[in-house]
Amino acid sequence: MKGRSKQSGSMSRRKFVAMVAAGSAALIARPASAAAAAAPRSGRAVVTEAMSPADRKEYLRQKKSTADALKVIRGHKVPAGTELALVFRPLKSRRREG
C-alpha cells in the first residue's frame, strides 16, 4: 500500500504492534487473581449500586418502558407473505483516488 499519506494523529504499524505486544506482556505478567479481581462480576450490579434514589427510579421507569415496548413488538404478528421492511444489500467499497 505505497503512496498512502499519513493522516494527523495516525500511528505507524510498527508502533501499533509494539504497543499491542507491550499490553499483552503486561497482561501475561499480571497474576491471574489480580485479573479476576479487576473484572466486574455483573454489569447490572455495578450500574444500580452507585445510583441515587432519583436516578434509580428513572432507571427503573425506563427499563419498564423498554420492556413494555419489546412486549408489543414481539407480540405483533406478521402475516405470511408480507414484504420485508428492510432488505440488506451490501455496498461496494469505494476506492480512494490518489
The Cα–Cα gap between 39 and 46 comes to 11
Kindly state the cell numbers that stand for 96: 480512494
- This prediction has a pTM of 0.37
One digit per residue, the tens of pLDDT, for the chain of length 98 reads 455 555 556 888 898 888 888 888 887 887 766 656 666 655 555 455 678 899 999 999 999 999 999 999 999 888 888 887 888 888 888 777 65
Dihedral sign for Cα atoms in the order 68, 69, 70, 72: positive
Within a 13 Å sphere around the CA of 51, how many CA atoms are in the beta-carbon half? Answer: 14
